[in-house]
Each structure stands twice: as structure tokens, then as C-alpha cells.
Structure 1
Amino acid sequence: MKPLYAALLGAASLVAVSQASAQTTLTIATVNNGDMVRMQGLTDDFTKKNPDINVKWVTLEENVLRQRVTTDIATKGGQFDVLTIGTYEIPIWAKQSWLVPLDKLPADYDVNDILPKIRAAVSYKDTLYAAPFYGESSMTMYRKDLFEKAGLTMPEQPTWDFIFDAAKKITDKSTETYGICLRGKAGWGENMAFLTAMSNSYGARWFDEKWQPQFNTPEWKATLTDYVKVMKEAGPPGASSNGFNENLALFDAGKCGIWIDATVAASFISDPKQSKVADKVGFAPAPTKGLGKTAAWLWAWNLAIPAGSKKVDAAEKFIAWATSKDYLKLVADKEGWANVPPGTRTSLYNNPEYQKAAPFAAQTLQAINSADPDHPTVKPVPYTGVQYAAIPEFQGIGTTVGQQFSAALSGSKSVDAALEAAQASTEREMKRSGYPK
């Protein structure tokens, strides 16, 4: 009996070793925002359904994520099996054949349910190259109690002049209540996402039809002057270091009266578990200057597979799980409908439970649907993209310009000097890159 028992035990051990060696580990690079952090806490749902797949998360600050992921995919480093990337990278990287097309998603995934604007943004030549985890535009979020105290009423469509005036009136620095919080941290996807969208409403543009940089124009000077002025008068100290997450923390703590930023923030500032002002928040469209464009942008954080990956099947399974209708329901069951990742699926906005739980739903959908990446500016431009120009060079150019504008906000440079430096550096890089092509 003992030899037989030993043989059976040995066979069982071999099976266990075989199963362990057959297990696939997916390394996922992601951004450190609330929705992606929440997903990490729900990963057990995926691994229970797929016991042959392990998941390893690499969570990074937004600017660092972009640098790491871009370097890895351009050099074919192979560090990551699933990438968290934005709408900016998708058409550029798909054109370079750096991404695996997502044309084998299961039928019940329902690709046709993805919001048309978001689906177009994550496709290249009508093929899906990434799946949207959440989509967003931008909007005005504000403290209704502070407005009421100051005798202010938010218009259906606020103008920048109204926002600037309101921000000054509701500022009370003695209680650390600042009228307005806007992104100041340097980065093409940080302060330049906001400032580019703002500049669109002012009639500015990155390039004219001949790819000549336009920072030496009255429209850009007005944009940057007004931004710096209102932040000096009504913004928090150290604003040049504040990005999305920092401003979210300030708003949640009750220290911001007005915050113009991504619509995805709405669920966080409305959540009493993390926001001290959850019952005092109002929502309105992004401001306008009266020229036919608002400061609303269009963005999605998406999951994609780098070309050449040896774990495509496992990566596709994870992406299908993480961006599915079932995942939205999973979050709703755990955290409530108001906290599901927004901005990706038509069915979510048709869901009465979501409409009831999320007072910001209609405003978010309207902002996404009204964004126009093909015609983002008042004057004609040769590029697409609302808060960025969809060319490979923009990542470097945008960050350099962002550093200049952050310096203007901190006071280490004048507005004129920052614009002059932005014009010179952008002219130099565009000439080096051979524009117009």
C-alpha cells in the first residue's frame, strides 16, 4: 500500500507543479486614479473565473505612467502585458503596428454598446485597438452652498467671466476656502489638457493650417493671462504642483468652490465616504467665451495589448472582463451605481438605477457627445484632438510647454516670457520633425 500511496502522492505533486507552471501572470501598467485603484480591489472576481491567470499591477502617477509605457512599447521592452493608455496614443500607436487589434472580443461583450464618440476615439481605421475603461469630458463642478451664501446662481452655460467673478466672491482664505482649483502641474496630459481646452474656447489653437505654432497670438495671451490671474486671486497655494488627484483631494476636503476638470471626478466628489461636501455639489457645462466652443474635452482611459505580446489570449480575457457590462454591475453591487466607471456604454446611461444614483449622468453624457475632436477650435487646424494635437511629437512638445506655463503660474516666469519660450521651443521641435509633412 505504501508504494502505491507514494506513487499517487508523486503523481498529484506532478499535476500541481504542471498546473502552477501553466499559470499565466499578466503584468498590467495603470494610472493611480480612483477607478483603477478600485479595479485592483476587485481583481479576485477575475482570477476566480480564470484560475490559470495571475494579475500583477504596476500603479503609477499619470506622467510617470506615460513615460514608462511609451518607452516600453517603442523599445519593445516587453515589461507589460496590458497597458493603460489614452485616446491620444491609440491612433498613433495603431498606425505604427504597436498594438494588438481587439477584434476577437466575445459576442456578449457588445462592442456596439460603446458610446459612438468613445468608440471612434479608441479605433483606428474602424478597428478597435483598445477597450475603454472609462470615458470623460470636462465640466464645471461647484459648491452650491457657497454660491447661495454669495447670492450667486450658476447659469445653464457659464461663461469664463462669470466663473472668474464667482471664484473671487466665494474665496475666503481665512478658512482656507479657495474660489477655484485648476490644474497647474506640468505635463501634456496635466495642466496642458486643461489649458488647451480652455484656449479652444478663447479662439486659440496650437498650430495654424501650415503647422506654425500660435503661442505668439492674442488668443493664447488672453488665455494664460486670465488663468494665472484668477489662480493668483482665488486659487490655492502651491497650485503649480496640483494635478487631477491633488485638486480632487482639495475639493473633497471642502477647500475648493469651483473645480473645472474631468467629468469622471463627479462620482468621487458626490461620494459621502470620501467627500466632506458630497451633498453640496452642483454641476454645469465647461465654460465658454462666447465664440462657439466650450472648454470641454474628450478622453478615455483604455486597456490595450502591446504587439508582440506572448500572452494575448490571457490579456484579451482580462480586458473583456474589466471593460464589460458585468464589471459595471460588479462595481454597482459593491460600491453603488453612482461609483461605476462612467462614459463608456450607452446601456449605462439608459439604466434608470444609474440615472437615479448619479445626478451628474446627463451632464456627463451631454459633454461627451458635444465634444468634437475633428473640429476642436474656432479657427481651422490641421490636427485632431480637443485637449491635445494627435501627432507623435505632441507628447514632448506639450510637456515642454506645460513646464513654461506652470512656471508662469508659480511666478518664476512672466506670462509673456512663458509664451515666448513656448513659441520658440515648439517652433524648434516642429522644424526638427519636418513639419509641414
Structure 2
Amino acid sequence: MTSTLRALLGACAVSALSVAAQAETITVATVNNGDMIRMQGLMDDFKAKHPDIDVEWVTLEENVLRQRVTQDIATKGGQFDVMTIGTYEVPIWGERGWLVSLDDMPAAWDADDLLPAIRGGLTMDGHLYAAPFYGESSMVMYRKDLMEKAGLEMPEAPTWDFIAKAAAAMTDKDAEVYGICLRGKAGWGENMAFLTAMANSFGARWFDMDWKPQFDTEAWKTTLDTYLDLMNNYGPPGASGNGFNENLALFQTGKCGMWIDATVAASFVTNPKDSKVADQVGFALAPDAGKGKRGNWLWAWNLGIPAGTKHEAAAKTFVEWATSKEYTELVASKEGWANVPPGTRTSLYENPEYQKAAPFAKMTLDSINAADPQNPTVDPVPYVGVQFVAIPEFQGIGTAVGQQFSAALAGQVSAEQALQSAQSLTEREMKKAGYYK
């Protein structure tokens, strides 16, 4: 080997080492759901566009993720540069100054294209504190064949009275077909997500304007009584242990006439690979009680950047890529339009290819637009959030109340006892937290 060639090879090696040394590493904490796992499989696209940024993933089960990212951001631990967080955390953390504002995202990212309801839930004092990866509301999914057999026609915007009538007509317990499946598993994000949204439609609320709990009101009594009547008469056995995944399995195997749950489930119940009733599924808005609010929630999984990260610019670059229109097109090219992350951008719902591939697109959009996190209830409230209350104490209180309502569903306590316990435990925790004396 000549000295000239040796020198050239040496120079190339030094150059390669220099590029590697210059690559900036960011750590992304995320939830172990299908959409996030899919993103990790598409990282070659990001790396090709941004060779100077390496991404390390920490992928966790939902409850563990919440615990880890909350602890890290509260203690300024600095473990993560990007966090996958829910609509619940964003306004709380944004108000506390724990998140980097995304007001300066590039014009091409098109913040104005974000669905107003989703963007509203991620905004505090006019500042956007997270970018939505996928969004959802809730809606009625139902068996068209069973509805027809019962001689009924599902309205696009049903009432709770119609839902009860249809549930009775579709129930055939001898055939293990239950008129309605609803969440019964205790948890602020399980049964209380459904019941809080349902309560909104009956005129109930968690707190009045003085932060005093409201479980001793007639509106909450009507909510819980209606829920228990539906589930005890027309629901599946063991419903107090059923959450999203359990009800999904029941619906896919033909055991539910109706299921009111997350709009993101629509692609699962209409996929013939997984659902025995895929060709018989219809969709309707979540029910109302004639009071101007429907019983649907609003949620998004979002990417947020903790304040104090040493890699803010690189983190923003990643968030921009992962939540962009171009990323949606990338997923569509690999997996088909029906599998793109839903519920975040107006442009997706204006896309003819998506509309053709996703028969549930319009109902999903209408459901999201029907939710208002800033004004979630009939009467005014001091909090933000549709199926949750955006205060730090809610995780604990919501789960404790959920345990009382799940016990009522299991027949361990009466509805009246469950509401009394919910009132007293919520009063105790809110007084302890200093909301009122």
C-alpha cells in the first residue's frame, strides 16, 4: 500500500469517526402500543433525514411509563429527552413549567392543521405544550345484523333511552350475546374514563366552582343507576373485571350487541383478520340525555419535551418528524391508510384515500369535535378535561372512586353506598390537598 493511499484511508477513517462523534443521542420514553412499536420500525426514514441524531428507546407498559416519566420530570432527573404523555398530564405539566413550549415548530409542520379539540387539550394559557401522535374520542360500535333482527335502527346521535331499549332487544343470554359491553374494571383511565364522560351527559360533574365534590347530587345518582341497570340486565358476566382489552375481545367474537368505547378500536373491530363480525359493524355518536353534552371523551397520546433537556433542538426535530403529515404518509405507504395514526389532523379526514380505507373516519372526527376539554360539563367547572380532571390528585382519587363503582357493579355494595364513599373519600383528599377547608 502506497503512503498516499494509506494517508487517504486514514483521513476517511478520521472523517467517519468525526461524524459518529458528532451524532447527538436523544432518549425517547414511550408506551408499548402498536402505533409506537410501528414507529420504531420506521426509524430508518428518520435516520436518513437526520444522520446527526441517534434515538434510544425506552418502551414501557402504560402504568409503568406514567410512573417513570412523572418521577423523572418532577425531580428533574433528565433521563428522557422526549416523553410519551397523555392529554391528562399536558396541561398540568405545562402550567408548572415542566414542558418545553412547541409554539416555534416550523411552518411546514402546520400547527393550524391540528384538530381544534385535540389542540385545545394540549394548550395552556395559549401555549402548545405537546404534539399529538394519535387522538381519540369514544363512540358507539354496534352489530348491524343484531340491530336489524331486533327491528330497530340506530340513530346517528342516540339517546341513553334508545341505548337501553336496543340493549334489551339484542340480548340473548342463551346464545351468549349481550346487548351492551361497557368498562367495569376499576381505574381512573378504565371505568372512570367511561363513567365520567357518561356523567357529563347527565349533567353531573366532579366538582363545583368551589372544588367541592358532587357525588351526592341527583345527576350522579342517575348516571350510576343507568350504568348499573344496563350492565346488570344486558351486560356480560364478570363485567367488573372488564376493561378496554376484555371488551374488545368480547365484541370481536360476536358476544356484544353494542360497545361504547374508544374510537381507536374501530380499526380493530372492522379488521376481518381479528374480528368475526367485521362486516357487520356500525358506528354512532356516544349517547346523550338531552342536556347538550354527549357521553364521549377526548384523549391523545402525545410527544412532549421536558424543560431542562440538554438536547432540546434534536428533541424538537424528532417530535416534528414523528407527528408530521409526512410521517402519516410514510405509514400509509408501508401499512395502508387504515393503519395510520388517527385523530390528530384535519387534513387526514379530508384525504379521499383515508376516507375510502376507514369507514369509521367521519364518526371518529365527529366524536372528537363533539368533545370540549375547556367546557366539558353542562354546568361550569374549574377544571380542564372531559373524562378526567386535570389536577395532580386526580390519578389517586379517580382510581379510588373507580374501585367503589366497580364494587357496586360486582354487587358488593349498593349504588347509594358507592356514591357516599366516593363523596367522602374525594372530600377528604381535596381538603388534604388544600383546595378548600
**TM-score calculated relative to the size of structure 2:** 0.92
Which residue number in structure 2 is paired with residue 246 of structure 1?
246
Which residue number in structure 1 is paired with residue 39 of structure 2?
39
Extract unaligned runs of 5+ from structure 2.
Answer: none
Output the CA distance in 2 between the equivalents of 1:120 and 1:337. Answer: 26
Output the CA distance in 1 between the equivalents of 2:300 and 2:381. Answer: 22
Contact 1:171 1:257 in 2 (8 A): yes
Output the CA distance in 2 between the equivalents of 1:36 and 1:175. Answer: 38
Output the CA distance in 2 between the equivalents of 1:371 and 1:286. Answer: 10
Alpha carbon RMSD of aligned pairs, Å? 2.3
Which residue number in structure 2 is paired with residue 235 of structure 1?
235
* Cα deviation digits, residues 33-58 of structure 1 (max 9, x gap): 33333323323322332233333333
Question: Is 1:426 aligned with 2:426?
Answer: yes
* Cα deviation digits, residues 398-423 of structure 1 (max 9, x gap): 12212222222233333222222211
Change beyond 3 A, Cα 1:58–1:204: same
* Cα deviation digits, residues 189-235 of structure 1 (max 9, x gap): 22211110001111211112221111122221221222233223332
Which residue number in structure 2 is paired with residue 302 of structure 1?
302
Output the CA distance in 1 between the equivalents of 2:150 and 2:346. Answer: 38
Extract unaligned runs of 5+ from structure 1.
Answer: none
Secondary structure of the corresponding residue to residue 264 of structure 1: helix
| Residue type at the aligned position of 2:164 | F
Question: Is 1:363 aligned with 2:357?
Answer: no
Which residue number in structure 2 is paired with residue 124 of structure 1?
124
| Residue type at the aligned position of 1:236 | P
Change beyond 3 A, Cα 1:28–1:234: farther
Match runs of 1:167-186 below 5 Å: 167-186=167-186
Secondary structure of the corresponding residue to residue 406 of structure 1: helix
Task: Give the CA deviation at 1:62.
Answer: 3.1
Output the CA distance in 2 between the equivalents of 1:351 and 1:321. Answer: 20
* Cα deviation digits, residues 285-339 of structure 1 (max 9, x gap): 1011222221022222211111111222222121111111111111222222222
Match runs of 1:21-32 below 5 Å: 21-32=21-32
Residue range with higher mean Cα deviation, 43-52 or 309-318: 43-52
| Residue type at the aligned position of 1:323 | T
Which residue number in structure 1 is paired with residue 378 of structure 2?
378
Which residue number in structure 2 is paired with residue 340 of structure 1?
340
Output the CA distance in 2 between the equivalents of 1:119 and 1:219. Answer: 30
Contact 2:146 2:170 in 1 (8 A): yes
Secondary structure of the corresponding residue to residue 404 of structure 2: helix
Task: Give the CA deviation at 1:2.
Answer: 7.0
Task: Give the CA deviation at 1:11.
Answer: 5.2
Change beyond 3 A, Cα 1:144–1:59: farther
Change beyond 3 A, Cα 1:241–1:19: farther
Residue range with higher mean Cα deviation, 12-21 or 293-302: 12-21
Contact 2:135 2:342 in 1 (8 A): yes
Which residue number in structure 1 is paired with residue 101 of structure 2?
101
Secondary structure of the corresponding residue to residue 368 of structure 1: helix
Contact 1:63 1:189 in 2 (8 A): no
* Cα deviation digits, residues 96-116 of structure 1 (max 9, x gap): 110011133222111111122
* Cα deviation digits, residues 310-369 of structure 1 (max 9, x gap): 222222121111111111111222222222222211111222222222222222222222
Question: Is 1:149 aligned with 2:138?
Answer: no
Which residue number in structure 1 is paired with residue 259 of structure 2?
259
Residue range with higher mean Cα deviation, 5-14 or 272-281: 5-14
Output the CA distance in 2 between the equivalents of 1:311 and 1:342. Answer: 28
* Cα deviation digits, residues 56-99 of structure 1 (max 9, x gap): 33333333332222222112222322111122221211111100
Contact 1:120 1:126 in 2 (8 A): no
Contact 1:63 1:187 in 2 (8 A): no
Change beyond 3 A, Cα 1:102–1:240: same
Question: Is 1:412 aligned with 2:412?
Answer: yes
Contact 1:87 1:299 in 2 (8 A): yes
Which residue number in structure 1 is paired with residue 59 of structure 2?
59
Which residue number in structure 2 is paired with residue 314 of structure 1?
314
Task: Give the CA deviation at 1:268.
Answer: 2.5
Task: Give the CA deviation at 1:377.
Answer: 1.7
Match runs of 1:323-334 below 5 Å: 323-334=323-334
Change beyond 3 A, Cα 1:126–1:414: same
Which residue number in structure 2 is paired with residue 78 of structure 1?
78
Which residue number in structure 1 is paired with residue 276 of structure 2?
276
| Residue type at the aligned position of 2:229 | K
| Residue type at the aligned position of 1:363 | M
| Residue type at the aligned position of 1:303 | L
Contact 2:117 2:373 in 1 (8 A): no
Secondary structure of the corresponding residue to residue 225 of structure 1: helix
Output the CA distance in 1 between the equivalents of 2:407 and 2:18. Answer: 57
| Residue type at the aligned position of 2:330 | L
Change beyond 3 A, Cα 1:154–1:429: same
Secondary structure of the corresponding residue to residue 231 of structure 1: helix
| Residue type at the aligned position of 2:281 | V
Output the CA distance in 2 between the equivalents of 1:350 and 1:58. Answer: 34
Residue range with higher mean Cα deviation, 292-301 or 176-185: 176-185
Change beyond 3 A, Cα 1:155–1:103: closer
Which residue number in structure 2 is paired with residue 353 of structure 1?
353
Contact 2:120 2:374 in 1 (8 A): no
Contact 2:150 2:170 in 1 (8 A): yes
Task: Give the CA deviation at 1:169.
Answer: 2.8
Which residue number in structure 1 is paired with residue 391 of structure 2?
391
| Residue type at the aligned position of 1:104 | D
Output the CA distance in 2 between the equivalents of 1:176 and 1:44. Answer: 47
Q: Percent identity?
A: 70
Contact 2:337 2:357 in 1 (8 A): yes
| Residue type at the aligned position of 1:269 | V
Contact 2:184 2:406 in 1 (8 A): yes
Secondary structure of the corresponding residue to residue 183 of structure 2: coil
Change beyond 3 A, Cα 1:163–1:299: same
Q: How many residues align?
A: 437
Contact 1:137 1:297 in 2 (8 A): yes
* Cα deviation digits, residues 222-278 of structure 1 (max 9, x gap): 212222332233323333333223323332333322111122222222223333322
Residue range with higher mean Cα deviation, 370-379 or 167-176: 167-176
Output the CA distance in 1 between the equivalents of 2:237 and 2:4. Answer: 75
| Residue type at the aligned position of 1:241 | G
